Structure 1
Amino acid sequence: MTDKASTDIRPAIPVIRIFDLEKAQQFYLDYLGFSVDWEHRHEEDFPTYMQISRSGCVLHLSEHHGDATPGSTCFVPITGAMALHQELGDRRYRNIKPALEAMPWGLQITVTDPFGNRLRFCEYRGEQASTS
């Protein structure tokens, strides 16, 4: 029997399928402002698997076939949606101009990476921010 008191379930880390490391770095590092925590390849010229992070958000990017489904969506809770929207607008990424959307649950910014994956950054309104 497992002791539930000793179990610590932490936030999931999305795995995002990428097809071109240079394009992924331009989007996730240069545009979105993430940093590389670590990178792994089994051998030179093999697909990359890496962890990136910004603030409390951690993502895994994978060039490995079958690791994830291209075109997926990650919902990322944030604070400071207006500031992030301004920051992204100031960077002038050539392929995207995200809107700041007022949704019933909060302010949301949706960006799509070069591989069709979407990240929805959302600043919750009121009581919806509770995770319990």
Structure 2
Amino acid sequence: MHLGRVIPILRIFDETKALEFYVDFLGFKVDWQHRFEANYPLYLQVSSGTCVLHLSEHHGDASPGAAVRIQIEGIATYQQQLLAKDYRYAKPEVEETAWGTREMSIKDPFGNRVVFVEEMAD
């Protein structure tokens, strides 16, 4: 048996705010978008490198307030890039944890928590 990668689905409620956060602020790119018809909920995929997230306006796809942990190398550099964007709703800080990681937690406009995690060298 072989398991593949995991692609989390995060609930969103506003396309403009979602794109502002995930694309303009975090630096993901939109891979594709889908609506069954005009004026229907949006479902889309965003990615950065090998990290892939699905964002959905569909009721029942996910619950607001979810959390995802994303492995990263170079968290301090990424934090400085984010701070330089001067995004009104987030000024992320990096925290060193007791379990040997550096973590940067950011809430999206819908209450989902995106946590970037870097393993500290021994």
**Is this a same-fold pair by TM over 0.5?**
yes
- Residue matched to 1:65: 59
Give the counterpart of 1:56 among 46, 50, 55: 50
> In 2, Cα distance between the equivalents of 1:26 and 1:123?
25
Residue equivalent to 2:19: 25
Instruction: State the percentage of identical aligned residues.
Output: 45
Mapping of residues 34-53 of structure 1, within 5 Å: 34-53=28-47
SS of equivalent to 2:60? coil
1:113 corresponds in structure 2 to 108
- Structure 1 residue 17: deviation in Å? 0.1
Q: Which stretches of structure 1, 4 residues or longer, exceed 2 Å deviation after superposition?
A: none
Structure number with greater Rg is 1
The corresponding residue for 2:7 is 13
**Structure 2 CA distance, aligned partners of 1:57 and 1:100?**
20
Task: Compute the TM-score of the two structures, normalised by the length of structure 1.
Answer: 0.88
Q: 2:118 maps to what in 1?
A: 123
Q: Distance in 1 between matches of 2:84 and 2:34?
A: 32
Does 1:93 pair with 2:63? no
Displacement of 1:126: 4.0
- Please list the CA deviations of residues 29-75 of structure 1 after superposition, one character each: whole Å capped at 9, or x if unmatched: 00000000000000011000000000111000000001001001001
Q: Distance in 2 between matches of 1:81 and 1:106?
A: 10
- Partner residue of 1:130? none
Residue correspondences, number = 121
